Amino acid sequence: MKNSKLKSLYTYRWRICLIFILLVLPRLAFSLPFTERVTLQTGLRLIVSEDHSLPFVTFQLIIDGGSRIDPPNKEGLSYITAKGLLHGTTRNTAQHMNNTLDFLGANLSSSSSKDYISVALKVLKKDLVQGFNLFMDAITQPVFPEDEFRREIQRTLGAIKSVEEDPGGLSEREFLKTLFANSPYGHPVMGTGESLDRLTRNDMISFHNTYIRPNQAILVIVGDVSLNEIKKDLTGRLETWIAGEVSKVSYEQPPVSSAKTLTIDRAITQANIVLGNLGPPRNNPDFFPMVVMNYILGGGGFSSRLFTEIRAKRGFAYSVHSAFDFKKYTGSFSVNLQTKNDSAREAISIVLAEMKKIQTEPVTDMELEGARKYLTGSFPLRLDTQAKLASFLAQVEFYGLGDDHADKYVSHIKAVTKEDVQRVAKKYLNPGAYTLIVVGNLKEAGFRE
Amino acid sequence: MFSVISLSVVLAIFSFVSVSFGEEKLGDKVYETILANGLKVILLEDHKAPVVTVQVWYRVGSRNEAWGKTGLSHLLEHMMFKGSKRFTAEQFVRIIEENGGKNNAFTSRDYTAYFVNISADRVAIPLELEADRMRNAIFDEKEFLTEKKVVLEERRLRTEDNPQSYLHEQVLATAYQVHPYHWPIIGWMEDLERLTLADAREYYNQYYSPANAFLIVAGDFSRQELLPKVEQAFGHLPATDAPHQSVGREPTQKGERRVVLKREGLVPALMMGYHVPNLKNPDSYVLDVIEAILSSGKSSRFYEHLIREKQVALRADVDHSLTSLDPSLFFISAEVLAGKDLLTLEKAIDDEIMRLQTEPVTPEELSKAKNQMEALFLYGQDSVFYQAMVLAQHEIAATWRRIDDYLPAIRRVTADDVMRVARHYLIPENRTVGLFSPITLQDNYHGPAKNLVKEKGHTR
């Protein structure tokens, strides 16, 4: 008995040691997979990362033409145009295109976000050229048939209803609308019932003519293909995509944040809460301190302050997190949580108290070290599939973060100090004048008499 | 942490199952060993990216629960993050996060799984932590009561305030009357409120042991180097007998059942669940092909006919799981497009089922479905997490080795099989239909008004 007890004590200590050693071991420097970058004569920026471990290829195209540039009263145009790319081309009807893609087991999709349109293709190596040609047809030779356009409008109206049925989706939509007011990021990417009603096929054709141009675009190719193959088999086709003059769309700043509260009464069991304020653009010198600060406040998995206070200590919510949503011009900061109606007010006051605390008191050494280690150590997990790597490379290029962004990521995060954290908390959180959305049973939540 | 994998999620994931493309079998890359204490260890080396996934799967899920104690498996999953004799909850999370790891867990009807995705050079860390909480979890009353509140919030979020999840629950409760798939993974609200700390502890002691679990590691490691670490971490855990796994058999359904949900909402929805076998019956693979024919891609029958042509549906999907431990449901779900109605949608879906039963699928359409399934197989191999998950799901249902049957079984499916299987299983007598018929939702907007919250002074 004695022996076995000794033995177990021994293993116990040994294991503690093991963990300790692994914690202090020097980190292996992580480097980005090798990438090559070419700008074609047409202005298209082409980024290639070869990975021959599996026989398929991922294409990610992003085009500077998100909902931000929807003309007034034509909200949703960027989105509908992006969808329209897959409605048929001069070579193929939508049905024929869908059938061919499915027969190849290829995935082709298109969508739009606030900043850009994206078109993605995943195709087996053996079908590379065939898949790529369908992809290029969609981008450069769409015909936008009237009947497909009508169907897309109906589906989008349906999708808007789904967002409105979902209290979480509704609260997020209303948050951005309220925060950005009538500025370019304010309206939903899908538009509204009224604006979709006003769209015509000609609007799409004209949007496509103006913005879907190689000089507006970044194409990332990741997977089982070499630069030589791209030059031999794909570049010719890429070069037939003709550049066009695109006049810069002016960006109108949203009004400076003042406190605004929007409450929506609904017969549900939880209050869906979004609280926050405007933020800086993606390409700003405070990016790294902001990431670290947010990780400590509410971004970091299961150890953040908001998670600890609201979930782990009080059991008020299943999900609570904070995030900076970085965009090309103006971003936002928000805290998002759902709690049973009668905890709503207390949860909100905890969120505000935590925002104030991180502004007024330095974070602890342990918190700072934890954030730095997580953010640097988890970097490889952010790039471990073709789609994740392609999306990362496209964004770095789109937001102009520099070719050395990934290489310098670790050193930038490690350089963040406690003072930096406090400074950016003061600068970018506004617990005094925030936008608040509550979707829930307002009487139970104490927002209505 | 702590997610309930809903039926649809598990099934959706399954449809990306992956096996080696070409003729190299995925199973050939897998190594299996069983430690002296009964813990099965499944290793898949894949050096594509410098990461590993470490997963411990317990053969316990909501199917193992008793009437009146529903939701216990999932609540226990939450408790597993609340500390052990060696590590407090905070230490556990800090060790993983400081090493750049992402960790979480999920509970299904058949299993509870814990995972850490982490840089390959840190693989020993999750092994230590998982081995520890297999036997050493502590159960604190205060933590239990708080975590129960979290789970109640999770249920409100996922089910109570979500009409389609709510309907999904109603359909399962109607389709299964005897078998424990009757109740939701997250448990009934009433049961959750009554669960006790003693329930959780007893359940843990019964089901969390080497003989009722397996470890699966996939990613960038060498087996020779990893095995001693596995032995070091798990080898000392005491051997126990595996708990019994038998549950009540669902009697054959005799006649269609219907359930209607009326509550506020905007998008009417329809679900149909047909009782079907799992991969132990070859018909299951035919049902997988049928799933692809109906709903995989924009040239699928549902997309082409219901969404594009007739414009009756906003969305129409099929979920089918080969790897359910007990017979599950071939599950059709669809949302009505604004301006159309449930009746028209149901008729349109019935027409598609009837077409499967009366008209042989053409060779082109059959090849297309198989090509899609093979490509998805391959794409799935891009993620080590996903590969481990698929192997583990096969291990739960039968053995991970069955993964190598997938492609041959799919390739063998003929047009006659499709018609025969559709005629045998996809019949009204064998199904439960659920309808969500919304009552008009009347939102009342207030604001934006300045300082509304502040004026009312909601301080703590």
Note whether B267 contacts A165, CB cutoff 8 Å: yes
Q: Find chain A residues with C-beta within 8 A of B337's C-beta.
A: 154-155, 158
Q: Which residues contact B350 (CB under 8 A, 6 or more apart)?
A: none
Specify the residue for token string 């942490």: B1
Burial B51-70 (b: 16+ CB within 10 A, else e): bbbbbbbbbbbbbbbeeebb
Note whether B119 contacts A28, CB cutoff 8 Å: yes
pLDDT at B151: 98
For residue A118, pLDDT over 80 is answered with yes
* Residue B376 at interface with chain A, using a CB cutoff of 8 Å: yes
Note whether A339 contacts B153, CB cutoff 8 Å: yes
Q: Find chain A residues with C-beta within 8 A of B364's C-beta.
A: 103
**Angstrom distances, CA of residue A237 to CA of A214, A231, A266:** 12, 10, 53
- Could you tell me how many CB contacts below 8 A there are between chain A and chain B? 273
- List the catalytic residues of B: 77
**Angstrom distances, CA of residue B408 to CA of A104, B22, B373, B404, B421:** 19, 11, 12, 8, 18
For residue B234, pLDDT over 50 is answered with yes
The CATH number of the structural domain formed by A36-239 is 3.30.830.10
**Angstrom distances, CA of residue A133 to CA of A42, A128, A140:** 18, 9, 10
For residue B194, pLDDT over 90 is answered with yes
For residue B309, pLDDT over 70 is answered with yes
Q: B141-155 and B197-207 are packed helices; what angle lies between their axes, rounded to 10 degrees? A: 90
Q: Find chain B residues with C-beta within 8 A of A34's C-beta.
A: none
Alpha-carbon distance of B257 to A255, in angstroms, equals: 56
Average pLDDT of span A7-13: 31
**B3-234: which CATH architecture?**
2-Layer Sandwich (3.30)
Contact B56, B134 (CB under 8 A): yes
Mean pLDDT of chain A: 92
pLDDT at A1: 31
DSSP A217-237: EEEEEEES--HHHIIIIIHHH
Q: Report which of residues A30 and A104 the model is more confident about.
A: A104
Q: Which residues contact B284 (CB under 8 A, 6 or more apart)?
A: B276, B277, B278, B322
Contact A218, A62 (CB under 8 A): yes
Tens digit of each residue's pLDDT (9 = 90 or more) over B390-434: 999 999 999 999 999 999 999 999 999 999 999 999 999 999 999
Question: Are A36-239 and A260-445 equal in CATH topology?
Answer: yes
Q: What angle do CA A382, B124, B4 make, to 5 degrees?
A: 60
Pick the CATH number of B257-439 from 3.40.605.10, 3.30.830.10, 3.30.300.280, 3.20.20.140: 3.30.830.10
Alpha-carbon distance of B160 to B268, in angstroms, equals: 17
Note whether A303 contacts B93, CB cutoff 8 Å: yes
pLDDT at A259: 86
pLDDT at B457: 30
For residue A17, pLDDT over 50 is answered with no
Note whether A315 contacts B154, CB cutoff 8 Å: no
The nearest alpha carbon in chain A to B308 belongs to A151
Q: Find chain B residues with C-beta within 8 A of A258's C-beta.
A: 450
Alpha-carbon distance of A19 to A23, in angstroms, equals: 6
Instruction: With cut-offs at 50, 70 and 90, classify the pLDDT of residue B19.
Output: very low
Instruction: With cut-offs at 50, 70 and 90, classify the pLDDT of residue B24.
Output: low
pLDDT at A31: 64
Looking at the partner chain, which of B146, B296, B378 has a beta carbon nearest the beta carbon of A54?
A: B378
Note whether A269 contacts B264, CB cutoff 8 Å: no
Looking at the partner chain, which of A23, A86, A165 has a beta carbon nearest the beta carbon of B265?
A: A165
* Residue B66 at interface with chain A, using a CB cutoff of 8 Å: no
For residue B2, pLDDT over 60 is answered with no
Alpha-carbon distance of A31 to A376, in angstroms, equals: 12
Distance from CA of A295 to the nearest CA of B (A): 11
Alpha-carbon distance of A354 to B120, in angstroms, equals: 35
Q: What percent of the residues of chain B are helix, what percent strand, and what percent coil, each to the nearest 5?
A: 50, 20, 35
Note whether A264 contacts B441, CB cutoff 8 Å: no
Secondary structure letter of residue B85 according to DSSP: S
Tens digit of each residue's pLDDT (9 = 90 or more) over B132-180: 999 999 999 999 999 999 999 999 999 999 999 999 999 999 999 999 9
Question: Residues of CATH 3.30.830.10 domain(s) within chain B?
Answer: 3-234, 257-439
Distance from CA of A145 to the nearest CA of B (A): 13
For residue B228, pLDDT over 60 is answered with yes
**Angstrom distances, CA of residue A132 to CA of A138, A230, B46, B370:** 10, 11, 28, 22
> A260-265 and A435-440: which strand pairing?
parallel
Note whether A101 contacts B444, CB cutoff 8 Å: no
pLDDT at B3: 46
Half-sphere CA count of A346, side-chain side, radius 13 A: 14
Question: Domain spans of chain A?
Answer: 36-239, 260-445
* Residue B428 at interface with chain A, using a CB cutoff of 8 Å: no
3-state secondary structure of A431: coil
Q: Report which of residues A385 and B3 the model is more confident about.
A: A385
For residue A16, pLDDT over 60 is answered with no
pLDDT at B25: 83
> Which residues in chain B (271-330) have CB-CB distances under 8 A to chain A?
296-300, 303-304, 307-308, 311, 314
Q: Report which of residues B364 and B458 the model is more confident about.
A: B364
Mean pLDDT of chain B: 92
Instruction: With cut-offs at 50, 70 and 90, classify the pLDDT of residue A419.
Output: very high
Alpha-carbon distance of B229 to B231, in angstroms, equals: 5
Q: Find chain B residues with C-beta within 8 A of A56's C-beta.
A: 375, 378-379
Among A12, A21, A23, A54, most B C-beta atoms within 10 A, so best to mutate, is A54
Note whether A158 contacts B299, CB cutoff 8 Å: no
For residue B1, pLDDT over 90 is answered with no
For residue A19, pLDDT over 70 is answered with no
The nearest alpha carbon in chain A to B304 belongs to A95
Average pLDDT of span A402-407: 86
Other beta carbons less than 10 A from residue A112's beta carbon: 24
Contact B228, B297 (CB under 8 A): no
Give pTM, 2 decimals: 0.92
Secondary structure letter of residue A429 according to DSSP: -
The DSSP element (H or E) to which A121 belongs, if any, is strand A116-124
Alpha-carbon distance of A222 to A57, in angstroms, equals: 6
Q: Report which of residues A429 and B444 the model is more confident about.
A: A429
Of B8, B208, B152, B101, the C-alpha closest to A315 is: B152
Among B96, B97, B122, most A C-beta atoms within 10 A, so best to mutate, is B97
Tens digit of each residue's pLDDT (9 = 90 or more) over A190-235: 999 999 999 999 999 999 999 999 999 999 999 999 999 999 999 9
Distance from CA of A401 to the nearest CA of B (A): 23
Of B180, B185, B181, B186, the C-alpha closest to B152 is: B186
Distance from CA of B446 to the nearest CA of A (A): 5
CA B382 distance to own-chain centroid:
20
Looking at the partner chain, which of A103, A369, A381 has a beta carbon nearest the beta carbon of B368?
A: A103
Tens digit of each residue's pLDDT (9 = 90 or more) over B59-92: 999 999 999 999 999 999 999 999 999 999 999 9
Note whether B304 contacts A98, CB cutoff 8 Å: yes
The DSSP element (H or E) to which B105 belongs, if any, is strand B102-107
Tell me: cis bond preceding B448? Omega within 30 of 0 counts.
Answer: yes
Instruction: With cut-offs at 50, 70 and 90, classify the pLDDT of residue B23.
Output: low
Contact B51, B117 (CB under 8 A): yes
Note whether B99 contacts A166, CB cutoff 8 Å: no
Average pLDDT of span A160-177: 97
Alpha-carbon distance of A103 to B373, in angstroms, equals: 10
Distance from CA of B161 to the nearest CA of A (A): 6
pLDDT at A249: 83
3-state secondary structure of A2: helix
pLDDT at A30: 56
Instruction: With cut-offs at 50, 70 and 90, classify the pLDDT of residue A348.
Output: very high
Note whether A340 contacts B267, CB cutoff 8 Å: no
Alpha-carbon distance of A317 to A307, in angstroms, equals: 9
Q: What percent of the residues of chain A are helix, what percent strand, and what percent coil, each to the nearest 5?
A: 50, 20, 30
Show the tokens assigned to A426.
């003061």
pLDDT > 70 fraction of chain A, expressed in percent and rounded: 93
Alpha-carbon distance of A17 to B165, in angstroms, equals: 47
Alpha-carbon distance of A283 to A402, in angstroms, equals: 10
Of A197, A282, A196, A210, the C-alpha closest to A246 is: A210
**A260-445: which CATH architecture?**
2-Layer Sandwich (3.30)
Tens digit of each residue's pLDDT (9 = 90 or more) over A256-295: 867 899 999 999 999 999 999 999 999 999 999 999 999 9
Q: Find chain B residues with C-beta within 8 A of A8's C-beta.
A: 236
The neighbouring-strand residues paired with B335 are B269, B315
